[in-house]
Chain A
Amino acid sequence: AQSVTQLDSQVPVFEEAPVELRCNYSSSVSVYLFWYVQYPNQGLQLLLKYLSGSTLVESINGFEAEFNKSQTSFHLRKPSVHISDTAEYFCAVSRYGGATNKLIFGTGTLLAVQP
């Protein structure tokens, strides 16, 4: 079985500051890794994913995450956040070789960007 841990339930940060949202997972088999974002009053949206290849993946709006197999982590980072990045961020995994979108989610981290 797989599990995902997001230790930080809320991360307050000032605009233009860097941020890191932590995600650790547990699995006895290989996994795919995802970050989903939920903006206020909107549905979940895929932010970025790691399926294979380069361990560093990037989103179109400046976020990046690095798959670290030895530390079983997939932390999300952005060097300079904007007010519009305020949202709930969910880390998720799925089992390699299974249904890719059969996801196990963490409990989420609320990123609160302050002016």
Chain B
Amino acid sequence: GAGVSQSPRYKVAKRGQDVALRCDPISGHVSLFWYQQALGQGPEFLTYFQNEAQLDKSGLPSDRFFAERPEGSVSTLKIQRTQQEDSAVYLCASSLRDSNSPLHFGNGTRLTVT
């Protein structure tokens, strides 16, 4: 288990359903980031944790998006009442610490809202 693991790999939700996306960072990594990548676009920052503290959630698109990392390890990104515009790949990344540490990305969860 050397890398960042995300599950599920694919998720199809009907509009209005709630979804939960899981991220297992590299063991010992303090910083954890969530990014959203729409089709044909680069990743966009959603939120950032240092240990269990959510230091920045300025990128969350609406109050339907919620992220947590209660024990400073696994993180969950929850989207309530999904909309079609939420369809994207959700990327999780971790780093040993924030300053001067490279980000290690997971393979992402592809969310399709129908």
A residues at B contact (CB < 8 Å): 4, 36, 41-46, 49, 51, 90, 92, 99-108
Q: How far is the CA of A90 from the CA of B103 in the complex (A)?
A: 14
Instruction: Tell me the chain B residues, 3-33 only, with Cβ under 8 Å from chain A.
Output: 3-4, 31, 33
Q: How far is the CA of A106 from the CA of B40 in the complex (A)?
A: 11
Known: A43-B91, A90-B43. A100 touches B98 (CB 8 A): yes
Please classify how large the interface on chain B is, using the bins under 10, 10 to 19, 20 to 34, 35 or more.
Answer: 20 to 34
Please determine whether A46 and B103 come into contact, CB atoms closer than 8 angstroms. Answer: yes
Residue of B3, B4, B93, B108 near A101 (CB, 8 A) is B93
The residue on A at minimum CB distance from B31 is A101
Q: How far is the CA of A49 from the CA of B41 in the complex (A)?
A: 21
State how many angstroms separate the Cβ of B55 from the closest Cβ of chain A: 7
Residues of A within 8 A of B56 (CB): 99, 102
Additional A-B contacts beyond A43-B91, A44-B43, A105-B42 (6; CB < 8 A) = A42-B107, A44-B103, A99-B55, A101-B33, A102-B45, A107-B41
Residues of B within 8 A of A44 (CB): 43, 91, 93, 103, 105
Q: How far is the CA of A4 from the CA of B42 in the complex (A)?
A: 10
State how many angstroms separate the Cβ of A108 from the closest Cβ of chain B: 6
B residues at A contact (CB < 8 Å): 3-4, 31, 33, 35, 40-45, 48, 55-56, 91, 93, 95, 98-108
The 3 closest A-B pairs by CB, nearest first: A105-B42, A43-B105, A44-B105
Can you list 13 A-B pairs, Cβ within 8 angstroms, ordered by A? A4-B42, A43-B106, A44-B103, A45-B105, A99-B55, A100-B101, A101-B31, A101-B98, A102-B33, A102-B56, A103-B103, A106-B42, A108-B41
Please determine whether B48 and A100 come into contact, CB atoms closer than 8 angstroms. Answer: no
